[in-house]
Structure 1
């Protein structure tokens, strides 16, 4: 009886294999390997032929920009210099505030949260006193836009979330006096030159 059951099981297995073979319907042709073909790669069954493939990194091709005049070329060069000058600060702000949000999410104690915000604020101010205060008005304006680009929030919103609305209002008032606007937003369509400079800068490689 046991032998009979085993015999039936074998028939079912063989029949299932035949059904799968009929469903596939195509005999897979594997590529001929040479003596140096020792690297395993992915493959795709294309109408019965196994085609090996290797994923490649994205290749970005940039067109050569033609300027209408030497003045336009000089203006673009100044813009590129200013963007390259302030971009590291925008990336630092992004990294620091993302870390702050992670730290705040790990604690529900108001005292500890205030301590984390104060520490982050101190680090930003230290960097400001050390480097950012030397920026020109134009560079500061670009920086506020790039912060919005990187964090998806304006500098004003960040100050308001971490320090409160009144402090944000004071910061904005002082910024407006020296030609800045903490509410500046970034639009890649309107800032096509800046966007092009950032993409081709190598900051994201």
Structure 2
């Protein structure tokens, strides 16, 4: 009888402990200060609510040391050229993304051709106003930046929107004046251009 009573007592104790373990803990929030008016996210860490907020990425660049005045002058020219053509690359990116969205909304071939024609007209108008005045070096940088922003070379974009023959014809003309529509962008090879873009404020 004593053994049964002891056994029953152990069962009750174990059951009581398990019930206590299953009781939800009330999260403890930090005390608010006088000026704490900004709502932030929080994480429950063993019953203690820890507030947190996501911060923007901060890039730190060391001051560059030039080997010679000529090297610094070359970098300054590159910076000027990159800043000159970067807005055109961003325009191409936005316009091409808009074209893809518009094409996805319709399955009618006639309407799709009209959308491509309108996009082509806008880019040509910009070309006639400003891009035709670019130097060969600026044009070469622009083709690289279009690949960087759009994820496709200028040749691929022309081929998709105008067809393979048009892309081939444009490439021949481009090669005559020193351009290459198939130019690709490599942030490692083109690290000076990448550094200029990241420190220029285009993505703030």
Q: Which runs of 5+ in 2 are unaligned?
A: 1-14
Q: Please name the residue that 1:199 is paired with.
A: 198
Bigger mean CA offset, 107-116 vs 30-39: 30-39
- Please provide the CA RMSD for this pair: 2.1
Shift of 1:27: 7.1
TM-score (norm 2): 0.84
- Find the counterpart in structure 2 of residue 42 from structure 1: 41
Q: Does 1:70 align with 2:75?
A: no
Q: Does 1:144 align with 2:167?
A: no
Structure 1 spans left out of the alignment, 5+ residues = 1-14
What does residue range 22-41 of structure 1 map to in structure 2 within 5 Å? 22-23=21-22, 28-41=27-40
1:24/1:56 CA distance change after superposition, 3 Å: farther
TM-score w.r.t. length of structure 1:
0.83
Bigger shift: residues 184-193 or 101-110: 101-110
Deviation at 1:97, TM superposition (A): 1.0
- Partner residue in 2 for 1:171: 170
In the TM superposition, structure 1's runs of 4+ consecutive aligned residues that sit over 4 Å from their partners are: 23-29
Aligned length: 188
Aligned position for 2:5? none
Q: Distance in 2 between matches of 1:128 and 1:32?
A: 60
Instruction: Indicate the residue corresponding to 2:106 in structure 1.
Output: 107
1:39: how far off?
A: 3.6
Shift of the 123–41 alpha-carbon distance from structure 1 to 2, 3 Å rule, reads closer
CA distance in 1, matches of 2:22, 2:129: 70
